[in-house]
Structure 1
């Protein structure tokens, strides 16, 4: 924030505090206005639901009042109660209309339909009650009373106790029905009426009066039936009123619960809005006040702290400290302008001091350039000569190593050649043995081929014989079939003969004595026909047996022929395989002969290889000795060259400082890894380290050296490497005594 404020002028920074305070007041005012609007809306919702609950309660009261007026009308039966009921129903409809403007739920429609049904049903109750009569003097009750009084007076005038008893029983049924409203009393009334009608003609009442009584009784019963129908309708309508009213109660209760719940929710929402407004105002005040405090503190610190630092910088410049830092240069306000003006004074003072220091530096730089050139030249000569000598030494060592490897290889080749010669002799003997065995195997295979050929010929003859037998048996089967046909013909002839004998017997019987001889002949013919039939049946049985046996023989011969065919095929396959085996055996004999010749050639050439290997081993030994001598000579040449370069001038001689031969343990840290070793000599500017393992170093690489007896680690640079020896240069002179 300090950087941001420093880009503004002091006037702008102070204005920012005023603007932030105004924004806080605007936010607080906006929260209050928004909260007031929401609370007003929630108040309106609550008032609407409270009004809904009030109107619902008024509707319930009006319906209950209409219900009470209904009971009063049924109890008192007058138009006054009917009019009061109509007024209560009108009030209920008015409340329902008011409800429909407050709420559009399905309950309103259901209550409206139920209210219409209730009003219509009550009108039907009024109509039924009017038919029955508001009192015993009007309606059906009045008609019943007038009719029965006229009949009772006539019966009383003529003193007919039995008819009077029946009349009293009918009046009792009438009263029972009015009390209990059960249809069975109507049936009882019909039975009494029938008894009355049967008894009336047998009474002593004159016929004219009987006719009058009968007419009045018919009117009485008609009035009773009308009263019964109206009473039952009244009862049904009354039950319908109760059902309709009970159906409206759940919807009214639902509206009450809905209005109470919504009113409570609106009240809770209003309270939540009020609490949110209070919390929002409090948060806005706290955050706004905090921001104003933070911004004011930041602006104050951004003014007095830079001024204090600038005062200190002016004091340091006055004391001659030209390198002191000028604060607030990056600011873009009035404080920054003061800092930049102070920087101009500092730059002028520094320029004068810099000019003087540059002249001194130019003199020292000339000396350092000379020393650096000499040092670079010496190091370049040393490094290049060292690398060239190292490459020659490496090639020499490689040549010696290769010579040793050649000697070892020649020795191994000589030993292997002798082994190969022995193996070739053994292979020659084995090849000769295999050749003799191959000749014997060829003779055996030729004999087997001859025997297989003979077996094939015999098998072929057997196949031909089996096929001939199968054909013969087939012809036999056909002949037996023809015998069967002849047997059938004989059987038919025997049947005809038997029929002829029967006819002859019948004719002999008709001829009487004249036909007795003919009858004897007919009887004999009949017996002969019977014997013929019996013999024919026996022949048929035997023929069937022969046919079955013939079929089995045909099948067996067919199977034998198939088996012999298979044997013939197998024999042919064996003959072919034997022929191929004979050819393969001949090829083996030829290959064995060639192998024997090759083994002789291998033995001859292996002897020559053994002699050449012996010669190569001797020459490789001489090359190894010469390579070792060359490597030692090059090592001496490298040491001499380095010593000459380093001692040519004092400036490039790293050994101008006194060196001490020591033997101390040391640890060289390279790229986070530590390698142990021992320091063999040391001076103020360098040391020689004998490493215990391969540290993978390279000239020019910088490391850290920890040496026994020296506190702390020494920053070093690798100058040269000589196998396990590392020549190190101290980046800072060693101040400790290492002697």
Structure 2
């Protein structure tokens, strides 16, 4: 009976440990997966920001394709993260919602930058940059034919303002260039060139001015979009940091819970084994004492120093106290009394 009880108790502890261990492992696996998705999301988001910065410095179609690919990966990790935390009683779902809105706005701003950059041109030979460069070269060629140093100096001043605007994006260079254009037209009228030469040169300088105006307006729009792009990136970063901290805390909590569960299961098994061992020792000693007393009684009966019935009576009383082992010897005592009688 004691062995059966020990087996049942040990089995119950093992089943309970298996249940809690499985639950702890499920939480640990979920936390590892959550942390993995959030880490990948953070990496993709940072990479997208770097691609955006690289595109603003040197726009290429390759960067556009790479950005779209990285952004899709980030949104995929965000969707998986949302599934893992939707049942959690925290503010993580709110942070995911804010992060998703920020990433969608971030993507919109970047595509606005791409559209503006396509109008301006990915190189100095494309788009408005190409038209501006072509107008500048035609005017420069015309001035080289006319041999007018004053007009050439004013044109060089225009080109300097053009380059300064392209580098700094400050509207003051736009105003300065228009002032140089006005000075150029005034100097052209007072020159000794023919009326046809003046008309042709005026048309070229106005083409250059219009090309620069179109370029400057588009460049200013691109600069504004770039500023919004950087602002959206900065605003979206805090929810991502909060989500990363949540994933890390949950991972560490799951790891602690798994360790505690293993320790609890180990301690329970140890205490169960110890308890069963103590019970076995106690009952073993009692049974051994009963056997010893019954052996002495049987020896006394065999030697004729005690009455069988009295020995049986005392043996019966002891057997009632000593349990199953005593009952076995009690039956032997009865048979001996019958033979002695």
The alignment's TM-score, normalised by the length of structure 2, stands at 0.77
3-state SS in 1 of match to 2:122: coil
Q: Which of 62, 74, 85 in structure 2 is aligned with 1:92?
A: 74
What is the CA distance between 1:303 and its match in structure 2? 7.2
Partner of 2:233: 245
Measure the CA separation in 1 of the matches of 2:154 and 2:81.
60
Q: Deviations over 1:521-550 (max 9, x none)?
A: xxxxxxxxxxxxxxxxxxxxxxxxxxxxxx
Partner of 1:600: none
3-state SS in 1 of match to 2:136: helix
2:37 aligned with 1:55, yes or no? yes
C-alpha contact (below 8 Å) 1:135/1:141 kept by paired residues: yes
Measure the CA separation in 1 of the matches of 2:293 and 2:267.
37
Q: Which of 176, 181, 185 in structure 1 is aligned with 2:173?
A: 185
Measure the CA separation in 2 of the matches of 1:50 and 1:331.
61
Measure the CA separation in 2 of the matches of 1:235 and 1:184.
15
What is the CA distance between 1:28 and its match in structure 2? 0.8
**Structure-2 change in CA distance of 1:85 and 1:327 (3 Å):** closer
Q: Deviations over 1:669-707 (max 9, x none)?
A: xxxxxxxxxxxxxxxxxxxxxxxxxxxxxxxxxxxxxxx
Q: Which of 105, 116, 124 in structure 2 is aligned with 1:136?
A: 124
Measure the CA separation in 1 of the matches of 2:273 and 2:59.
75
3-state SS in 2 of match to 1:57: helix
The structure in which a higher percent of residues are helix is 2
3-state SS in 2 of match to 1:150: helix
**Structure-2 change in CA distance of 1:158 and 1:282 (3 Å):** closer
C-alpha contact (below 8 Å) 2:38/2:243 kept by paired residues: yes
2:22 aligned with 1:40, yes or no? yes
Partner of 2:261: 273
What is the CA distance between 1:123 and its match in structure 2? 0.8
Partner of 1:74: 56
C-alpha contact (below 8 Å) 2:294/2:315 kept by paired residues: no
Partner of 1:264: 252
Matches within 5 A, 1:421-436: none
CA radius of gyration, larger in: 1
What is the CA distance between 1:294 and its match in structure 2? 2.4
Measure the CA separation in 2 of the matches of 1:52 and 1:62.
15
Partner of 2:110: 122
What is the CA distance between 1:168 and its match in structure 2? 1.7
The structure in which a higher percent of residues are strand is 1
What is the CA distance between 1:331 and its match in structure 2? 5.6
Measure the CA separation in 1 of the matches of 2:190 and 2:218.
35
C-alpha contact (below 8 Å) 2:158/2:181 kept by paired residues: yes
C-alpha contact (below 8 Å) 1:53/1:255 kept by paired residues: no
Measure the CA separation in 1 of the matches of 2:60 and 2:319.
106
3-state SS in 2 of match to 1:292: helix
The alignment's TM-score, normalised by the length of structure 1, stands at 0.38
Partner of 1:380: none
What is the CA distance between 1:171 and its match in structure 2? 1.4
What is the CA distance between 1:35 and its match in structure 2? 0.9
Measure the CA separation in 2 of the matches of 1:169 and 1:331.
122
Residue ranges of structure 1 left out of the alignment (5+ in a row): 1-17, 319-324, 343-739
Measure the CA separation in 1 of the matches of 2:6 and 2:239.
52
What is the CA distance between 1:71 and its match in structure 2? 3.8
**Structure-2 change in CA distance of 1:304 and 1:208 (3 Å):** same
Matches within 5 A, 1:268-417: 268-298=256-286, 301=289, 328=317
What is the CA distance between 1:184 and its match in structure 2? 1.1
Measure the CA separation in 1 of the matches of 2:102 and 2:320.
85
3-state SS in 1 of match to 2:231: helix
2:182 aligned with 1:194, yes or no? yes
The alignment of Structure 1 onto Structure 2 pairs a total of residues equal to 314
2:135 aligned with 1:161, yes or no? no
What is the CA distance between 1:135 and its match in structure 2? 1.9
Matches within 5 A, 1:145-160: 145-160=133-148
Matches within 5 A, 1:621-700: none
What is the CA distance between 1:174 and its match in structure 2? 0.6
C-alpha contact (below 8 Å) 2:34/2:84 kept by paired residues: yes
* RMSD value, Cα: 3.6
Partner of 2:311: none
C-alpha contact (below 8 Å) 1:306/1:328 kept by paired residues: no
Measure the CA separation in 1 of the matches of 2:148 and 2:77.
64
3-state SS in 1 of match to 2:170: coil
Partner of 1:65: 47
Q: Deviations over 1:181-202 (max 9, x none)?
A: 2111112112222223333332
Q: Deviations over 1:365-405 (max 9, x none)?
A: xxxxxxxxxxxxxxxxxxxxxxxxxxxxxxxxxxxxxxxxx
Measure the CA separation in 2 of the matches of 1:188 and 1:28.
91
What is the CA distance between 1:330 and its match in structure 2? 12
Q: Deviations over 1:268-305 (max 9, x none)?
A: 22222222222111211221222233234445556765
C-alpha contact (below 8 Å) 1:50/1:260 kept by paired residues: no
